[in-house]
Amino acid sequence: MIRVAILGATGYTARELLELLLRHPEVEVTALGTRQEDRPHLANVHPALRGRIDLCLENLSPAEVAERADCVFGCLPHGASAEVIAELLDNDCRVIDFSADYRLNDPDVYEKWYQVKHPDPKRMGKTAYGLPELFRDQIRGADLVANPGCYPTAAILALAPLLRAGKVNPQGIVIDAKSGVTGAGRSPKAHLHFPEINENLMPYGVGTHRHTPEIDQILSTWAEVETNVVFTPHLIPMDRGELITAYADVTPGTTENQLRETLQEFYKDEPFVRIVDHLPGTKDVAHTNFCDVTVRVVGSKAVIIGAIDNLIKGASGAAVQNFNVVYGFKETMALL
Amino acid sequence: MIRVAILGATGYTARELLELLLRHPEVEVTALGTRQEDRPHLANVHPALRGRIDLCLENLSPAEVAERADCVFGCLPHGASAEVIAELLDNDCRVIDFSADYRLNDPDVYEKWYQVKHPDPKRMGKTAYGLPELFRDQIRGADLVANPGCYPTAAILALAPLLRAGKVNPQGIVIDAKSGVTGAGRSPKAHLHFPEINENLMPYGVGTHRHTPEIDQILSTWAEVETNVVFTPHLIPMDRGELITAYADVTPGTTENQLRETLQEFYKDEPFVRIVDHLPGTKDVAHTNFCDVTVRVVGSKAVIIGAIDNLIKGASGAAVQNFNVVYGFKETMALL
Amino acid sequence: MIRVAILGATGYTARELLELLLRHPEVEVTALGTRQEDRPHLANVHPALRGRIDLCLENLSPAEVAERADCVFGCLPHGASAEVIAELLDNDCRVIDFSADYRLNDPDVYEKWYQVKHPDPKRMGKTAYGLPELFRDQIRGADLVANPGCYPTAAILALAPLLRAGKVNPQGIVIDAKSGVTGAGRSPKAHLHFPEINENLMPYGVGTHRHTPEIDQILSTWAEVETNVVFTPHLIPMDRGELITAYADVTPGTTENQLRETLQEFYKDEPFVRIVDHLPGTKDVAHTNFCDVTVRVVGSKAVIIGAIDNLIKGASGAAVQNFNVVYGFKETMALL
Amino acid sequence: MIRVAILGATGYTARELLELLLRHPEVEVTALGTRQEDRPHLANVHPALRGRIDLCLENLSPAEVAERADCVFGCLPHGASAEVIAELLDNDCRVIDFSADYRLNDPDVYEKWYQVKHPDPKRMGKTAYGLPELFRDQIRGADLVANPGCYPTAAILALAPLLRAGKVNPQGIVIDAKSGVTGAGRSPKAHLHFPEINENLMPYGVGTHRHTPEIDQILSTWAEVETNVVFTPHLIPMDRGELITAYADVTPGTTENQLRETLQEFYKDEPFVRIVDHLPGTKDVAHTNFCDVTVRVVGSKAVIIGAIDNLIKGASGAAVQNFNVVYGFKETMALL
């Protein structure tokens, strides 16, 4: 049994993670961290989990966490996350980090997009990027896995194989993304107040969203040339689900079938990527760790569509998948 | 032209009110009040109203408001409202008050349910209760109208005629109410965060909701005996719309048809109450000042159903209707 | 391994059931029945299940089903269900029936509410009613279990212990119920078209809903006196979740605490009923087999609130729970 | 007073149109057409309009309609529409047509995308395209106005001025569009069933949507070179509202400010187009005839965003605006 702790246990990703881990036969959840002081019981923080596990959330130091857990899932905000993680690693914990802190390789890029100095620059670029479909070898046995952002997950899974195969042009890629509201976290904000979101649809962060450099970093690696995607997210009046509609110029002479076959071949042994013929909706993957992908050619453009559940394949499911890869468990454990 | 001011102009009821008043041929909106200091333009507070009227929200004293306006619509919270209103009345403004401050007759009841001492007890019980269908004579020419609560509006319109006619028992009435979320205001709160409300349905304020004494006060008058309703509101994952399902023992010998006819007769000249045969939904009255009512007899109980738009007939539409009655304009002006 | 078939596999309850059964270590799903002729693959009927199990839906005779399966979950409409089930039982299949056909004891009551003659009246009243919390002994080893209706599940769990203990009056009970739309099935209908339901809230079947005699039959048994509940369901603009708000006169001298303790005592060993202090929302039980119950006393009435997921505890989860009881598996298997 | 008829009065666009026309001081609604035979009262077809106007829907011949009305709003499906309209025009009615039948200039293009032969090809290319912001002169006094599609309205308003000014490249334009579900009409369909749409988000008609040639026809005129837009619509779980996110290569040397100023200058006298700085949401324009447009430059791309209410500016509001232009009424009449 692996003893597991979750830091930042009040949020939606932590709740989803707990639901998955409670079904995992090799996991014992031993600690729940929070920066609050009042030690609330989990049942009061997440009423849905009442009766499932008898733990309180505690304000624990990294050393205290390391005593109780072999592996830590970090659901802390960027900046705060790296500080704690460095100490956990020094105490021989393994860490799967939901924050953005160890996703980017370049401290300057991090500082530009996140407006803070990185607290642990020496580890940047040396961590495993937690997308097993692309980086399984690096994840296996890793001490620290940077769990990907939700948008990057869908965008990279949809585009990387086509770029690697030279089937689409790495320049001029547009990624029009749409997400449910849980992706924005659990803190109440004016623009996330129910009547502001419900029956509404709006773009946000056009040209400024922090997932942009993350997408470019990975796609550039796979394209073997620098990409500069135009990334436009939109908020959709629903809880969960994320769909990216990517537009890229097709390499002349390439057909829709060839694009589909490239994707099918690439993912043929993957348990969680389904290349489909129909146009997928987010509900096809809701509450699952699947990413459904399809492709169409319209005029000279490939239109590639990827759908995930932002809380599962886009966060907590991916984390459990990474956990399974790190420890050598069956990759689908607790996920199917 | 009546010069009109709105105090507390940032909220949803103020926005709806403005949309109605901008269509009112006898109204000029001259001032918008807020307790914020930064004088935002209306277009930034309510983007939907951009280009409709060129006004900023201002932190105005009651005296300043009284200089600019003949009639003030008060959308301030209870307690705060009465203090301002007393001063407006002293400065010869007419006031239509959305708050609860002048709805109840008894200062002790007010203090019990609102947990504050009433700042202007001498006016309590002397104001017009702004339900024209029941109190039109008192509203005509009034200086101060207490605009009813949203739940009381639907509940009273559904029950008062049957109680007055002795067709249902005033004891043991149950009012099970359901409302969209705009009724809870525009301030973001943890339990009103989009993912907390969406795909959720929950009771709240069971036995403690402040609309209870308001309902009892008016129903007691119409029943000519004290009522003690059991009132249970529920939050529904939608913006607007309110439905009350009221249960009362039918007076022995009374048929469903007699109940329906009692309602039809009572409201036969009313422009905004529709007694219908089918079971109404809130969407039938959305964005309108209508209240749709129907009745069924099930066993020994009358089941009376009333549907309104909480922001219109439950707030801003009622306020305009009251305004029209106060000034002697056609009652439907700006409302149809 | 128990070989399991599902009849009527196109609907929402069948999809939920499959998701649960695919996690059940003692189950092998061997056949999926449909009355369609074209033998569609499950992945095309329920895209969410693509890649999970490789089966087609087939139009199978009861004899064919009985050859392939030890236990059949019937998701067929009432009337059609009993005809098939009689034949399955004659072929030594065990059956868990989602339809209403074997819930009522009295053929005349069935005919009155369902407007058809019962095709198998001799078995009526001899089947186990599938609410393990109340009828576990009858379910154990049963050949045929009548899986309860969704509304009866919540209503009975909330009320039965209080009635049995004599804490509330069995006369004059009002059950105001609210449900998400999956409860109405997967067939498109004019009044279930997205824009008719969304942002809408409406009562339906007032005094005529078929779950009424089912509730009364069970509650009468537990109250040991005939009940005649007034049952009013409402459609809520959400997928899943059901909440009943029941109103009953408190037995004089009984306190809120005594009511709560009665419920706690009754359910103290039950894995799926949680007696809570707070007012529960349906999201607390979404995607789970839990029923959350609380109680308040308001004036002379007990207000008892029960929340379930209509597709899980109100249908497919209950069916798996019954399956576990029938076969003597751990009752929570595949459900936690 | 202009006597007005509406054909195809059962749908959502007809209901919205009626709500607008009932406020129009120069209009008398004299006839409502339907292809049903049973002459239902409007109050039963659109319960929200109960008590507003006392008319039945009738199955009327074009000649009968022409006798009762000066101007006809046609809400009929394509194909059916042109046949009726030809006869109405021959009977000296003016027509504002919501269908696609008179939007395209080329019968072959029509046949390719709509899979039927056009019944009245001689009028194609000679009708006014009902986007007053671009074609006001042709609409003034016209006998037949082709009311634009909802997607083309938003897309063309956002792009035409920039293309005309040469600020963006007419080649390689991507239009990623998102719409509420009322745009799909009122007929219940499996994929529009509430639980299929709710909490879901899906693309549809990728590369095949019929609004594509309409957008290209108009944009080509304004660009003075043929465009071939890639148009991808998505269904959003909400009633109304439509947002297009258009991507076009910026002409080298052009700044974001220049793009914004081009739009501002173009629309400076338009009552219904608002060029805004913030990122607009569809709720900013819900229930209004406004189109809110903004622009950003990201890398080498212009990202142009346009938001409308698909039922108002995308259908019925545009129709009333066109009506006002045709007859020389104030263009905002009944619309503000």
Angle between helices A211-223 and A107-114 (to 10 degrees): 150
Task: Say if residue C36's pLDDT is above 90.
Answer: no
When CB atoms are compared, the residue of A241, A297, A301 closest to D199 is: A241
Cβ-contact C227, C156 below 8 angstroms: no
Best D13, D186, D193, D311 member to test C by mutation, with max C CBs in 10 Å, is D193
Find, among D161, D110, D107, the residue nearest to D131 by Cα: D161
- Chain centre distance of CA D82: 17
Residue C193 C-alpha, separation from nearest chain D C-alpha, in angstroms: 5
Residues of chain D with pLDDT below 70 are none
* Residue C153 CB partners (closer than 8 Å, separation 6+): C131, C291, C308, C313, C314, C318
Find chains touching chain B: ≥3 CB pairs under 8 Å.
A, C, D
Q: Dump the DSSP string for C137-175.
A: HHHTT-SEEEPPPHHHHHHHHHHHHHHHTT-B-STT-EE
The three-state (H, E, C) secondary structure of B85-143, written as one string: HHHHHHCCCEEEECCCCCCCCCHHHHHHHHCCCCCCHHHCCCCEECCHHHHHHHHCCCC
Best A288, A289, A312 member to test C by mutation, with max C CBs in 10 Å, is A288
According to CATH, the superfamily of the domain at B150-310 is Dihydrodipicolinate Reductase; domain 2 (3.30.360.10)
Q: Which DSSP symbol is given to A74? A: E
pLDDT tens digits for range D296-307:
999 999 999 999
Q: Cα(C115)–Cα(B300) distance, rounded to whole angstroms?
A: 24
* Residue A268 CB partners (closer than 8 Å, separation 6+): none
Give span(s): CATH 3.40.50.720, chain B.
2-126
Question: Six-digit token pair at B75?
Answer: 């959308």
Residue of D nearest to A237 (CA): D237
Find, among D70, D60, D64, D133, the residue nearest to D96 by Cα: D70
Question: Collapsing DSSP states into helix, strand and coil, what is residue D176?
Answer: strand
When CB atoms are compared, the residue of A238, A239, A301 closest to D230 is: A301
Of the candidates A71, A75, A93, A150, the residue annotated as catalytic is A150
Contact between C238 and D193 using a beta-carbon 8 Å cutoff: no
Cβ-contact D331, D270 below 8 angstroms: no
Q: Cα(D36)–Cα(D60) distance, rounded to whole angstroms?
A: 10
User: Strands B94-97 and B144-146, how do they pair?
Assistant: parallel
Question: Collapsing DSSP states into helix, strand and coil, what is residue D333?
Answer: coil
Band (pLDDT 50/70/90 cuts) for residue B36 is: confident
pLDDT tens digits for range A112-140:
999 999 999 999 999 999 999 999 999 99
Return the biggest CA–CA distance within chain D.
Answer: 63
Cβ-contact B81, B89 below 8 angstroms: no
Best D150, D168, D176, D198 member to test A by mutation, with max A CBs in 10 Å, is D176
* Residue D49 CB partners (closer than 8 Å, separation 6+): D15, D18, D19, D42, D43
Q: Which residues of A touch D280 (CB under 8 A)?
A: 202
When CB atoms are compared, the residue of C48, C274, C285 closest to A288 is: C48
| The pLDDT of residue A196 | 98
**CATH class belonging to A2-126:** alpha beta
Q: Cα(B37)–Cα(B28) distance, rounded to whole angstroms?
A: 24
Best B272, B288, B305 member to test D by mutation, with max D CBs in 10 Å, is B288
Q: Cα(A193)–Cα(A188) distance, rounded to whole angstroms?
A: 7
Give span(s): CATH 3.30.360.10, chain C.
150-310
Which region, left, alpha or beta, applies to residue A125 given φ > 0 means left and ψ of -120 to 50 means alpha? left
Contact between D283 and A230 using a beta-carbon 8 Å cutoff: no
Find, among A186, A230, A196, A236, the residue nearest to A212 by Cα: A230
Q: Cα(C280)–Cα(B11) distance, rounded to whole angstroms?
A: 28
| The pLDDT of residue D319 | 98
Q: Cα(C263)–Cα(C276) distance, rounded to whole angstroms?
A: 10
- Other residues' Cβ atoms within 10 Å of the Cβ of residue A252: 7
Residue D182 C-alpha, separation from nearest chain B C-alpha, in angstroms: 14
Q: Which residues of B touch D294 (CB under 8 A)?
A: none
- Interface size between B and C, measured as CB pairs under 8 A: 148
The pTM (predicted TM-score) of the whole model is 0.98
Residues of chain A with pLDDT below 50 are none
Task: Say if residue C37's pLDDT is above 90.
Answer: no
Question: Six-digit token pair at C184?
Answer: 């109405």
Q: % helix / strand / coil in chain A, to the nearest 5?
A: 35, 20, 40
| The pLDDT of residue B34 | 95
pLDDT tens digits for range B71-117:
999 999 998 999 999 999 999 999 999 999 999 999 999 999 999 99
- Chain centre distance of CA C254: 31
Q: Cα(B231)–Cα(C303) distance, rounded to whole angstroms?
A: 10
Cβ-contact B118, B100 below 8 angstroms: no
* Residue A159 CB partners (closer than 8 Å, separation 6+): A168, A173, A175, A219, A222, A246, A248, A304
Contact between D274 and B199 using a beta-carbon 8 Å cutoff: no
Q: Cα(B314)–Cα(B306) distance, rounded to whole angstroms?
A: 12
Which region, left, alpha or beta, applies to residue C224 given φ > 0 means left and ψ of -120 to 50 means alpha? left
Contact between B181 and A199 using a beta-carbon 8 Å cutoff: no
Q: Cα(C281)–Cα(B197) distance, rounded to whole angstroms?
A: 9
**Which residues is C275 bridged to in the sheet?**
C293
When CB atoms are compared, the residue of C12, C182, C199 closest to D239 is: C199
Question: Collapsing DSSP states into helix, strand and coil, what is residue D128?
Answer: strand
Task: Say if residue B319's pLDDT is above 90.
Answer: yes
- Other residues' Cβ atoms within 10 Å of the Cβ of residue D125: 12
Question: Which residue's structure tokens are 């809400």?
Answer: D75
When CB atoms are compared, the residue of B48, B290, B336 closest to D288 is: B48
Q: Dump the DSSP string for C24-41.
A: -TTEEEEEEE-S-SS--B
Is C295 exposed, middle or buried (CB count within 10 Å of its CB: 0-12, 13-18, 19+)? buried
Task: Say if residue C46's pLDDT is above 90.
Answer: yes
Q: Cα(C148)–Cα(C98) distance, rounded to whole angstroms?
A: 7
Residue D284 C-alpha, separation from nearest chain B C-alpha, in angstroms: 4
Residue of D nearest to B289 (CA): D48
Torsion on CA atoms A259, A260, A262, A267, rounded to nearest 10: 150
Residue of D nearest to A204 (CA): D279
Residues of B with CB under 8 A from a CB of A: 12, 180-182, 186-190, 192-199, 237-239
Is D87 exposed, middle or buried (CB count within 10 Å of its CB: 0-12, 13-18, 19+)? middle
Residue of B nearest to D288 (CA): B48
Band (pLDDT 50/70/90 cuts) for residue B152 is: very high
Question: Six-digit token pair at D60?
Answer: 């009327």
How many residues are present in chain C?
336
Question: Which residue's structure tokens are 């209707």?
Answer: B321
Question: Collapsing DSSP states into helix, strand and coil, what is residue B6?
Answer: strand
* Residue C33 CB partners (closer than 8 Å, separation 6+): C5, C6, C7, C8, C9, C57, C58, C59, C60, C65
Is B252 exposed, middle or buried (CB count within 10 Å of its CB: 0-12, 13-18, 19+)? exposed
- Chain centre distance of CA D222: 18
**Which residues is C128 bridged to in the sheet?**
C145
